[in-house]
Homo-oligomer: A and B are copies of this chain.
Amino acid sequence: MAQADFPFQDRFRDHPTLGFVDWSLRGIGQVVFQNNPLSGLIILLALFFNSWIYGTICILGVVVATATAIVLKADKGLIRDGLFGFNGALVGLALVAFTSADFRTGAVPSVAMTVYIVFAAAMTTVAFSTIATLLGPHKVAALTSPFVLVGWLFLFAVLKFAAIEAGPLAKPVSPDQYDAAIAYALPTWYMGIGNAIGQIFFQDNWIAGYLIVIGIAVNSRISAGMALIGAAGAALVAVVFGGPEGAIRDGLFGYNAALTAIAVGGFFLVLTWRSFLYTLFGIVVTTWLWASVAIFLKPIGMPVLTSTFVLVTWLLLIGQYGFKALVPVPPAEATNPEDNLRRYKAATR
């Protein structure tokens, strides 16, 4: 087959030696639904731009999770699409972020902590396989639920083993930990939107957030647009309902909503004006419920992670199979929003 026959971004997917690098980079891209090594590479650079520690941990997480899948002889197609890697990357980032004195840059983990991260990343591979199996009949993806489940479970235990130095969860995790008196201003918006995208990867850096948007746009402009709409919509909802300025500027209201927007807005539903309204509805609900889950979890000192995104998106996507107004794309066929739209138009012409 001539090289021109398949897209540029897939040239290393089946490469005997560089394949593993390709799958790992796709794994990073899959956090934001982009099955493209170039997207993964740009996102990884955005992490390094913020902190070399987070960049390195991201590589560790995705490599361990992908390698575990290979050792356990998981489905090759899923491995090559990076689907075993993204939860490993996230759980590594989360464990470092919430045990470091400085949330922004992270701290180099101890040996015990590194062993712990390796096991947690490997466990996301097992959890992904389990959740994907359970959800199979319902034609909906696992999303980041393996990361949320394993992340919560491993974060709790961290607090009690003497050999692992637990940080003070220095980062606020709930809206009521912010000063309610600060007025909204221009930075609330442009920093809030960038930070929301950054927070998906635990990056408290709004410039890194916009770099991640570029990484998404390389593969899908619709997804990149949706990420921005989700983050901006969440900031708007929070402002209208009087959410604390600090939490909005830090992007806390928006990182779940941005993911909901990417998933529902074109990726798992064909983008039509109806599904666009459904996406806006999802953004509003995700924003409110992020606050809800944050308040629920605060007494036990646990961060929300991307649980609200997972919950709302599952409800929107499983529920829509009962609604004829929307056009679903089964997970196995969801490539990217532009392709979904092209195939739908071809089929209905």
Interface residues of A (CB under 8 A from B): 71-75, 112, 116, 119, 122-123, 125-130, 132-134, 137-138, 153-157, 159-164, 174-176, 180, 240-243, 281, 284-285, 288-289, 291-296, 299-300, 311, 314-316, 318-326
Contact = CB atoms under 8 A, between A and B. Distances in A.
Contacts of A318: 129-130, 133-134
Contact of A157 (B160, B240, B291, B320): B291
A322 B119 contact: no
A323 B129 contact: yes
A253 to B, nearest CB: 11
26 contacts: A71-B325, A74-B322, A112-B241, A116-B288, A123-B285, A123-B315, A128-B319, A129-B318, A130-B318, A130-B322, A133-B321, A133-B322, A134-B318, A137-B137, A153-B289, A153-B292, A153-B311, A154-B288, A155-B292, A156-B291, A156-B293, A157-B289, A160-B175, A160-B243, A160-B294, A299-B300
Contact of A162 (B116, B130, B242, B292): B242
A194 B76 CA distance: 43
Contacts of A72: 320, 323-326
A240 B323 CA distance: 48
Nearest to A127: B315
A157 B311 CA distance: 15
Contacts of A300: 296, 299
Given A71-B325, A323-B129, A325-B72, A161 B292 contact: no
Given A71-B325, A119-B284, A241-B112, A162 B133 contact: no
8 closest cross-chain pairs (CB), A and B: A162-B242, A129-B322, A156-B292, A157-B292, A73-B324, A129-B319, A72-B323, A130-B319
Given A132-B322, A137-B137, A160-B295, 12 more contacts: A72-B325, A116-B288, A119-B281, A126-B319, A129-B318, A134-B318, A153-B293, A154-B289, A155-B292, A156-B295, A163-B242, A164-B241
A126 B282 CA distance: 11
A240 B285 contact: no
Given A156-B291, A161-B241, A289-B157, A133 B138 contact: yes
Contacts of A163: 240-242
B73 A323 contact: yes
A234 to B, nearest CB: 13
A125 B130 CA distance: 26
Most buried by B among A75, A300, A323: A323
Most buried by B among A71, A123, A164, A293: A123
